[in-house]
Amino acid sequence: MKSEEDLKNVVKERYAKIAEQGKVENASSCCGATTPANKVYNIMMDDYTGTDGYVSDADLGLGCGLPTQFAHIAKGDTVIDLGSGAGNDCFVARHETGIEGKVIGIDFTPIMIEKARANAEKMGYNNVEFREGDIDNMPVSDNVADVIVSNCVLNLVPNKEKVIKEIYRVLKPGGHFSISDIVLVGDLPDTLRSDAEMYAGCVAGAIQKSDYLQHIEDTGFTKIALQKEKPIVIPDDILSKYLSAEEVSAFNKGGTGIFSITVYAEKPGGEKKAQEQITVKQEQESCCEPGCCS
């Protein structure tokens, strides 16, 4: 596998090309004879089109979940989106924060930043800004965010522990995150794990689910919970680019799981904020007092 800097450059180059293509071309190329990374994204992505705040020009089809759906964003919150791309999750988050809140998108691909800023200006969103930078060294001060979201991005960063520590630093006490990402149960074949395109496609950079959750706990986060989990199946036509027919069969029968998960966790402190979060969760739960359902 390449060095950390080499991997970052691979991802940056790949995402610059995706930004230049746009969603329609990305979607069509996912089904055609193009790079494996595109087609893997097509398999992973969730549908945003019915989500409040959705902006079609900002949707490049790159996510593996809907973290904003689970993020308990409140009016007036400051929200940070890690790996903000063309701004899709930021605009959905803005719908939740309202004009009283603030949304900051961070991305290390210059063309993505340009595209996101153009989308925000076109929509007249003055409380959404985009900053160029690495998410493992965020251009943000300590204790700024009420909520952090991210959609299929941490797996693209070689040093995931560093990113999680940065999330902890940037969140306010009592703040929380909701992050969608790709994780593994079992080991990938070496030919998949060492391939740059599969890294950019969010597979080769994924780590074990247990390690991912342990990093979050070790950093000091509490109330860690899986909000959603779904299996990702890599089609045989992609696997066959890296594995023989026998190896494809063995991989499919070997019990290695690739999953999209959405993880929630809180930074301790901020009792008032924590109580607000508990109240929101309680309101969303289906509960029934004795006698009310009789």
Q: 59 or 117: which carries more pLDDT confidence? A: 117
pLDDT tens-digit profile of 10-32?
888 888 888 887 555 544 333 23
Residue 14 in any domain: the answer is yes
Q: Is the pLDDT of residue 288 over 60?
A: no
Q: Is the pLDDT of residue 276 over 60?
A: no
Q: Is the pLDDT of residue 274 over 70?
A: no
Structure tokens at 197: 């395109």
For residue 55, the model assigns a pLDDT of 85
For residue 237, the model assigns a pLDDT of 87
Q: Is the pLDDT of residue 33 over 60?
A: no
Residue 72 in any domain: the answer is yes
Residue 23 in any domain: the answer is yes
Q: What is the pTM of this model?
A: 0.84
Q: Is the pLDDT of residue 179 over 70?
A: yes
Residue 83 in any domain: the answer is yes
Q: Is the pLDDT of residue 115 over 90?
A: yes
Rounded to the nearest 10 degrees, the angle between the axes of helix 209-219 and helix 160-170 is: 40
Q: Are 196 and 205 in contact (CB under 8 A)?
A: no
For residue 18, the model assigns a pLDDT of 83
For residue 265, the model assigns a pLDDT of 98
Residue 248 in any domain: the answer is no
Structural domain containing residue 167: 4-180+214-229+262-267
Number of structural domains (the chain) is: 1
Residue 135 in any domain: the answer is yes
Beta bridge partners of 184: 208, 258
For residue 294, the model assigns a pLDDT of 32
Average pLDDT, the chain: 85
Q: Is the pLDDT of residue 277 over 60?
A: no
Residue 48 in any domain: the answer is yes
The DSSP code sequence of the chain is ---HHHHHHHHHHHHHHHHHH-HHHHHHHHTTTS-HHHHHHHHHPPP-TTSTT--GGG--S--SS-GGGGS---TT-EEEEES-TTSHHHHHHHHHH-TTSEEEEEES-HHHHHHHHHHHHHHT-TTEEEEES-TTS-SS-TT-EEEEEEES-GGGSS-HHHHHHHHHHHEEEEEEEEEEEEEEESPPPHHHHT-HHHHHTTSTT--BHHHHHHHHHHHT-EEEEEEEEEEE---HHHHTTTS-HHHHHHHHHTT-EEEEEEEEEE-S--HHHHHHHHHHHHHHS----TTTT-
Quote the CA–CA distance of 213 and 143 in Å, as a whole number: 22
The CATH number of residue 72's host domain is 3.40.50.150
Percent of the chain clearing pLDDT 90 (strictly above): 56
Residue 104 in any domain: the answer is yes
pLDDT tens-digit profile of 201-216?
888 889 999 999 999 9
